[in-house]
Structure 1
Amino acid sequence: MAAVTSSLAADTTSGGLFDTVADWAVDLMDAIGGPGAGIAIGIENLFPPIPSEVILPLAGFAAARGSMSLVEAIAWTTLGSLVGALVLYGISRAIGMERLSRIVDRMPIVSVEDLQKGEQWFQRHGTKAVFLGRMVPLVRSAISVPAGVARMPIWVFVLYTTLGSLIWNSIFILAGYFLGENWSVVENYAGVLQYVVIGVLVGLAGWYAVKKVAAR
């Protein structure tokens, strides 16, 4: 495994947040394989400035090179997403939005604005905000906060967080897997991809609702 992920490190250049995160993720996957990818994504949920759009394609590339299987990459990153989301959910449920906002306001790497975006999504879309929010950068992490404050049933939170994370993670990991050494280009199209995914899901939900109404 070490030889494979050392090759990955050689394929990433130095300098800037993108390359720093890539090098760090490579080292983690080199050390512990699939669990390393899960840990990286779990940390990304807690600290949104760490871009999953880098870590996930890189995990796919690592799977293509033999550091882990494709199934392991998807399973571990989905578990990492869930664990990270549950940490934020639990903290928010325990201390509330107001106190959490004061804490975040003192932190240099996350902002109150990110929490507010998550709250707005939750208020606008309700339960499905947790599912769709997993596919929107920054909102992906922040959506756990209003869900915790609102005391959403934990089984509902776990279900929608897992499903949303599974879809999002799989798309980026598969992209990195098939793009190989060109995995880094995925990050350039992440914004477009998120709207495509959300559009498809909203369209499917609308189609399902129309069918239910027609059936009645």
Structure 2
Amino acid sequence: MTTSLRATLTTPSGGGSLIESISDWAVSMMETIGAPGAGLAIALENLFPPLPSEVILPLAGFTASRGNFSLFEAIFWTTAGSVVGALALYFLGAWLGRDRMRAIVSRVPLVDLADVDHVEDWFNRHGYKAVFFGRMIPLFRSLVSIPAGIERMTLWKFLVLTTAGSLIWNCIFVMAGFYLGENWHLVQAYADVFQKIVIASVILLVGYFVVSKVLKIRRKRAEHDAA
């Protein structure tokens, strides 16, 4: 079964050696320990965002479609893996704490502690929404757990929101892989577009932030020189 399963993983769209190597690794995990292997792969994906859930989740669905484990098991274990990975980052944020975080940020060029205060205020107002919807946004899926830990969001609320958001995201991709079968890789093409939009938006926001900060510094210098 191992040979026949891996033989179907080559993406006709030319996904590249990185995607193929991740697919082989994920399949090895699932074939070795079954559905918990899919959960372990997703837990690691939360800790290391470069590992794409958009590949691992459809692949878990595809593996379930071949009878290695059930669709329910695939969804259950991948969601459990999402929660475990998110919890690890939550506790990292809790350990880091507000004081350590502010001390680190104070050394970052162009970033003022006033900016941190604005972010904290925003998270205090919208943190619950950020944790829930953040589970369905590439890159932010992992990172949103850290500020939740720093701000010491109530743990049971964090768990409920993380489980609910992760369950929706995982169901979409696992079921897509399950019903697409050997065409599971088609999911990745659409996910890539979404991810590129997110990355482009982040780059634009960072660019706007840097430019506005540089202009603000120059304006303050000009006012100081004029005085």
| Coarse TM-score class (shorter-chain normalised) | 0.7 to 0.9
1:96 is displaced (CA, Å) by 2.6
**CA distance in 1 between partners of 2:192 and 2:124 (Å):** 23
Alignment of 1:190-205 (within 5 A): 190=191
Residue 176 (structure 1) aligned with residue 169 (structure 2): no
Identity of aligned residues (%): 59
Structure 1: 5+ residue runs without aligned partners?
103-115, 195-216
Any conservation in 1 of the 2:127–2:148 contact (CA below 8 Å)? no
Q: What residue number does 1:61 align with?
A: 62
Residue 11 (structure 1) aligned with residue 4 (structure 2): no
Residue 185 (structure 1) aligned with residue 186 (structure 2): yes
Q: Deviations over 1:3-42 (max 9, x none)?
A: 1x43221112395221111000000001011000000000
Instruction: Judge which range, 33-42 or 93-102, deviates more.
Output: 93-102
Q: What residue number does 2:35 align with?
A: 34
Which protein has the larger Cα radius of gyration, Structure 1 or Structure 2? 2
**CA distance in 2 between partners of 1:181 and 1:28 (Å):** 18
Any conservation in 1 of the 2:83–2:162 contact (CA below 8 Å)? yes
User: Counterpart of 1:13 in structure 2: which amino acid?
Assistant: T
User: Counterpart of 1:173 in structure 2: which amino acid?
Assistant: V
1:124 is displaced (CA, Å) by 7.2
Alignment of 1:1-150 (within 5 A): 3=1, 5-13=2-10, 15-96=16-97, 99=100, 122=123, 125-150=126-151
Any conservation in 1 of the 2:176–2:187 contact (CA below 8 Å)? yes
RMSD (Å) for aligned C-alpha atoms: 2.4
Residues 97 and 64 (structure 1 numbering): CA distance in 2 closer, same or farther, change over 3 Å? farther
1:193 is displaced (CA, Å) by 6.6
1:142 is displaced (CA, Å) by 0.1
1:190 is displaced (CA, Å) by 1.4
User: Counterpart of 1:91 in structure 2: which amino acid?
Assistant: L
Aligned pairs, how many? Answer: 176
